[in-house]
Chain A
């Protein structure tokens, strides 16, 4: 077969695909999902797939009389990969709405990309870097989940007042989400008068934390740790193996269900670790219990309880579906009506109501927790305090909060 013949076949095939797309566009809504199904956040990505699946099944894959077409792509947690996949979904697969991504740096990159596709709408999945929505937000990027600093609301005061910690060292992932979480924790802890003596930033991709652990000073009351997924398991294991005795304060994903469900010797040591997050396994609200029961019934091979990334993608998908239903599936006029509905949405979620601020960033409840064990041996996060309607500026005036600068390795600081 000569080259021109191959080219001709390719052109025909391309045209056929294009026709199929335009024919389908009238009777269906295309929703894309970007999640991490590779790399250290794989388990988080699996939860994201389950979340979107459950949300779509609840409406039987149809909204306002239109069929939902769901196309998903996997990132590995790196910003450039996430943007590549978002591009592919929006530009080649022609999705109308995109849900994702998973991790902090990815979120920042996708927000910037969002500005170049003003006719599409992106709903954040689980990424929680603060500046994604705080600084130069994109008009078509919505985050129905709280950010990493909000997630730590109440934790700094709790460990200062109840646990009596006065000094701490920080060991955290060296990326935007890590900075955000440390800022959230330190804002309260330092305001109370606590001191953070040393911050140890560990590059992403590190598996062997032993030399970072060796740098933790002996004379602090507690170590604030911030890693997620398999990294958290590795850190905790190595910390206890090295004979670590200083009590741990957990960043949000350190005691998250994706970690608590992992079997291993580290589980013997983690009961009692305080943390805070936008979800908690121990919430006893009927709506939350129903949500857990639904998860367990639908995914018998899933985790012991729905995880935080599950919640993030579930709420984002629900928000998109609710707003779509409100506007009767009307995505015309560059999705203007749909976006207006999203901005005004007051969504009732399993953890309480969520509304958006003027930057399209969620205001919602946060739960301060401690790791505890159920009679059947499974670990869960027990609620010790509920912080209601936490906003992105953590209750401070917006101008003053923004003026303090975006979170970084050295901001904030209270040695």
Chain B
């Protein structure tokens, strides 16, 4: 009972992290049809920048903000100088993004080396909280879930309750028509890319505090984002949440009960979804 409860809690908390990373990924895909294969690099870039700011100022919250804002700016730059020029050419955009991710990974390795880094979050977020049955649970993991819920709500409000959101949704459905109505679609694309990138950077700081930052995390979170959005449905907010929960729970419950095969569980889920509902659980058919 205790083990099951702990594994479930762990699954939900890890899902929170996957959600924050994948939501930016799915936003970018939804509007621009770009599979941003540099998304993992943006995650790790935000983590390292946030780490520098947090350690030099001694303030974890500043680090969090810096991770999000700086990577959002980097995203604006990437979209406006590189990807926007080749809009609509998926293969080229993917290749440019892969190239970019390799360059970023090597630059970060040169600057930060291979050692793992860890944030030192404020004591109030860091200890453990008493809970029934499982006794103590790390506070920060609950913070991750809280952060995911807030991010999810804000994005939902933005997309479904604001004028900017209407433009984004219209862009998802019919780009040329939106453009004909006088909306500056490239500008909207740049802003959405910045937003998605910023979320990846933010997730970097959150993930780096819950676990640690080290080279290779970029590929790991890119992969988890891909699996989450494939399961949930590309471009769908609720799908991303469901996908993240499914994958997080499968991973942790697998690790608790059948560790040898836990690695393949997420891929089995992905294969099943692709076979039965190729557009993802909440995705719309093409």
Q: Please report A residues at the B interface, Cβ cutoff 8 Å.
A: 37-46, 76, 174, 200-203, 205-208, 210-212, 214-215, 229-230, 233-234, 237-238, 241-243, 258, 261-266, 301, 303
Task: Verify if B52 is at the interface (C-beta below 8 Å from A).
Answer: no
CB pair B252 A42 closer than 8 Å? no
Identify which of A42, A229, A230, A262 gathers the most chain B CB atoms within 10 Å of its CB: A230
Q: Select which of B3, B109, B118, B216 is within 8 A of A264 by beta carbon.
A: B118
Number of residues from B at the complex interface, CB < 8 A = 41
Separation of A46 and B110 alpha carbons in the complex (Å): 10
B255 touches A206 (CB 8 A): yes
A210 touches B141 (CB 8 A): yes
B284 at the interface (CB under 8 A from A): no
Instruction: Answer yes or no: B61 CB below 8 A from chain A CBs.
Output: no
Are B262 and A203 within 8 A (Cβ)? yes
Q: In the docked arrangement, what's the CA distance between A45 and B120, Å?
A: 26
Q: Which of B30-38, B131-139, B172-180 contacts A (4 or more CB under 8 A)?
A: B131-139
A210 adjacent to B259 (CB under 8 Å)? no
B7, B118, B141, B217: the one within 8 Å of A263 (CB): B118
Docked complex: B1-36 residues within 8 A CB-CB of A: 2-3, 6-7, 10-11, 13-14
Query: Is A40 a contact partner of B211 (Cβ separation < 8 A)?
Result: no
Taking a contact as CB atoms under 8 Å apart, the answer to whether A211 and B10 are in contact is yes
Cross-chain contact A45 with B138 (CB below 8 angstroms) = no
Residues A243 and B115 in contact in the complex (CB < 8 Å), given A210-B6, A212-B255, A234-B211: no
Query: What is the bound-complex CA distance between A207 and B219, given in angstroms?
Result: 13
- Complex Cα gap A392–B115 (Å): 31
Which B192-221 residues have C-beta < 8 A from chain A?
211-212, 214-217, 220
Interface centre among A38, A211, A242 (most CB of B within 10 A): A211
Contacts A207-B220, A211-B6; A201 near B256 (Cβ below 8 A): no
Encoded as 1 (CB less than 8 Å from any A CB) or 0, chain B from 143 to 180 comes to 00000000000000000000000000000000000000
Asked if residues A46 and B114 are in contact (CB atoms below 8 Å), the reply is: yes
Contact B14–A208 (Cβ < 8 Å): yes
Query: Can you pick out 18 interface pairs between chain A and chain B where the beta carbons lie within 8 Å of each other?
Result: A42-B214, A200-B259, A202-B255, A205-B263, A207-B217, A210-B10, A210-B138, A211-B6, A211-B252, A212-B256, A214-B6, A234-B212, A238-B138, A241-B126, A243-B128, A261-B115, A264-B118, A266-B118
Chain B residues whose C-beta falls within 8 Å of the C-beta of A210 in the assembled complex: 6, 10, 13-14, 138, 141, 252
Question: Which listed residue (B116, B137, B214) contacts A242, Cβ 8 A?
Answer: B137
The distance in angstroms between the C-alpha atoms of A44 and B115, with both chains bound, is: 9
Greatest chain A CB density within 10 A among B126, B216, B263 is at: B216
Closest 6 CB pairs of A and B: A264-B118, A43-B114, A42-B114, A230-B116, A241-B138, A230-B214
Complexed CA–CA distance, A202 and B141 (Å):
20
Within 8 Å of chain A (Cβ to Cβ): is B58? no
A211/B214 in contact, CB under 8 A: no
- Closest residue of chain B to A245 (Cβ to Cβ) is B136
